[in-house]
Amino acid sequence: MLAGSGGDMQWCFSQVKGAIDDDVAEADIISTVEFNHTGELLATGDKGGRVVIFQQEIENKNYPQLRSEYNVYSTFQSHEPEFDYLKSLEIEEKINKIRWLPQKNAAQFLLSTNDKTIKLWKISERDRRADGYNLKEEDGRYKDPNSITSLRVPVLIPMDLMVEASPRRVFANAHTYHINSVSVNSDHETYLSADDLRINLWNLEITDRSFNIVDIKPANMEELTEVITASEFHPNQCNTFVFSSSKGTIRLCDMRASALCDKHSKLFEEPENPSNRSFFSEIISSISDVKFSHNGQYMMTRDYLSVKIWDLKMENRPVETYQVHEYLRSKLCSLYENDCIFDKFECCWNGNDSVVMTGSYNNFFRMFDREHRRDVTLEASRENSKPLQVLKPRKVCTGGKRKKDEISVDSLDFNKKILHTAWHPLDNIIAVATTNNLYIFQDKLTG
């Protein structure tokens, strides 16, 4: 059903979720966005530890061409703030990552994690209830046994749909450092969790044991030079995973090689361009996200200024590099001062791996069409939020005369950042998270 991205793909506004007012409550800041494997469900996690799941509606009678209407399906508190008494440290309840499990039965399962603990949640529907108990009244009070004179079989009667979320597993106490990634294996039995220095392998059924598969902690912490920033399992090779580092390298590991995968099978690294060297070279080369393509042949990495596509068969350089916001290179010092240089942008592939997307500042997000060598900058804003309103491409003026409709670099709002984006696996529907709002866009079907 995925329309080809030929010609000029246009995007329309579909919906926006979240509070309208400018005063953003910290707990409402969206920290992760993820479609499930069919795209029917869209999950968001926030800084307050809550998970909100939206479900795609089959048909909208008012706007039949709006195939991307998502409505709230379930909301639950996944994580609460905790306190580590031994270290006198507060553990934030912010949801760092949500990953869906492939559906096996009527219920849906997802993994959600904060800095220290991963939880497996079961989301199930209940649309029937039992009626006609012998021992209980309608309201649940127990009947006087002496008043019961006959016996009947309770029947199941329809009720309003209720969606329940229950924590089925809690995977705790396995990470000393802050968890940055969770990835479900293609075997559907195991998953990995990665923190700054270690990666652990879990079985989804077993919570009291995990296997450490990567450990880059040096014997002497003063010799620390790099940390793990992201990790992911290969989409169809259950023995393969990658992890990226703060030094801009990606290591591909094969779990068949040894129990501890400290020695990589492949090391992906691009030599630094010496003319770009500055105080901040290390920070901007740190990889904030790594994602395999759906076909498993490529992976994409995001660093502060660019998106790189790597062919898994070629380690010495990426096959494609896309500049997200190169105009920021001369502003790195200011971005360091206002902390923006530490922002961790994510990136994502579309369903057929022909287009990649990532966020930027001023509520801009960027799409790079690999096939047609085209890129576009779009904006998520309430000003462009009429139903099916087509988004106009945006342009940042990098110097010289500013044309009409262009925005100059100095006018960009660095508080409005899009860190999390997601693409429906089977359709041209995207979810883009601004600070506390979730925008859903769909492509304009031509003809």
Partner 1 sequence: MSAITAMDVNVEAKRILAVSISKLYASRTQRGGLRLHRSLLLSLVMRSARDIYHSSRESEAPIAAAPEEPMDTSSRAEEQTQLPEPESEPQPVANGAEAASEVSDSREEESDGETTEDKENVSPTRQSRKRRGKASAAPDFLPSKRARLEPGEERYAAPLGSCRTMAGESLTTLSLNRVIPAF
Stretch that binds partner 1, among 234-242, 274-282, 309-317, 378-386 (CB under 8 A): 274-282
Q: What's the closest the beta carbon of residue 336 comes to partner 1, in angstroms? A: 7
Residue nearer to partner 1 on the CB measure, 211 or 280: 280
Residues with Cβ < 8 Å from 274, sequence gap 6 or more? none
Binding window for partner 1 (CB under 8 A); candidates: 138-146, 176-184, 293-301, 375-383: 176-184
166 by Cβ neighbours in 10 Å (0-12 / 13-18 / 19+) ranks as exposed
Q: Among the candidate windows 310-318, 331-339, 381-389, 402-410, which touches partner 1 by CB under 8 A?
A: 331-339
The pair of structure tokens assigned to 202 is: 């879990």
- Look up residue 407 and give its two tokens: 């925005």
Please work out the total of residues on this chain that contact partner 1, with binding judged by CB under 8 A.
Answer: 35
**Interacting stretch for partner 1, rule CB under 8 A, among 280-288, 357-365, 387-395, 412-420?**
280-288
CB of 309 to partner 1, least distance (A): 24
Nearest one of 341, 340, 372 to 356, comparing CA atoms: 372
Q: Are 119 and 112 in contact (CB under 8 A)?
A: yes
- Cα(438)–Cα(440) distance, integer angstroms: 7
Task: Determine if 221 is a binding residue for partner 1 (CB under 8 A).
Answer: yes
Q: Out of 62, 220, 259, 316, which residue is the one contacting partner 1 (CB under 8 A)?
A: 220
Q: Which member of 148, 333, 390, 445 binds partner 1 (CB under 8 A)?
A: 333
Distance of closest approach, residue 216 Cβ to partner 1, in angstroms: 11
- 416 near partner 1 (CB under 8 A): no
Please report whether residue 339 would count as binding partner 1 according to CB under 8 A: yes
Among 34, 92, 379, 427, binds partner 1 (CB under 8 A): 92
Tokens of 105: 């039965």
Show the site string, 229-268: x = touches partner 1 by CB under 8 A, - = not: x----------------x----------------------
Determine if 223 is a binding residue for partner 1 (CB under 8 A). yes
Query: And the tokens for 309?
Result: 């596509």
Residues paired with 421 in a beta bridge: 432
CA-angle at 24, arms to 23 and 26, nearest 5°: 140
Considering the rule CB under 8 A, would residue 337 count as an interface residue with partner 1? yes
Compute φ and ψ for 258, nearest 5 degrees: -165, 170
The interface region with partner 1, picked from 37-45, 88-96, 140-148, 372-380 by CB under 8 A, is 88-96
Q: Is 58 in the site for partner 1 (CB under 8 A)?
A: no
User: Residue 386, interface with partner 1 (CB under 8 A)?
Assistant: no
Q: Encode burial over 217-239: b for 16+ CB neighbours within 10 A, e otherwise.
A: eeeeeeeeebbbbbbbbbbeebe
CA distance 330 to 342: 16
Nearest distance from C-beta of residue 391 to partner 1, angstroms: 34
**317 touches partner 1 by CB under 8 A:** no
Contact 414, 335 (CB under 8 A): yes
Q: How many CB atoms are located within 10 Å of the residue 59 CB?
A: 9
Determine, following the binding rule CB under 8 A, whether residue 414 of this chain makes contact with partner 1.
Answer: no
Nearer to partner 1, 2 or 91 (CB): 91
Cα gap 28→72, rounded to integer Å: 15
What tokens does 233 get? 């399992």
Comparing CB distances to partner 1, the nearer of 87 and 386 is: 87
Close Cβ partners of 202 (under 8 Å, ≥ 6 residues apart): 118, 171, 174, 190, 191, 192, 193, 210, 211
Binding region for partner 1 (CB under 8 A) out of 59-67, 85-93, 290-298, 382-390? 85-93
Sheet strands side by side (includes 97-100): 97-100, 108-113, 118-131, 155-171
Interface pattern 98-117 for partner 1 (x via CB under 8 A): -----------------x--
Q: Does 280 bind partner 1 (CB under 8 A)?
A: yes
Residues that bind partner 1 (CB under 8 A): 84, 87, 89-92, 94, 115, 176-178, 196-197, 220-227, 229, 246, 274, 277, 279-280, 282-283, 286, 333, 336-337, 339, 342
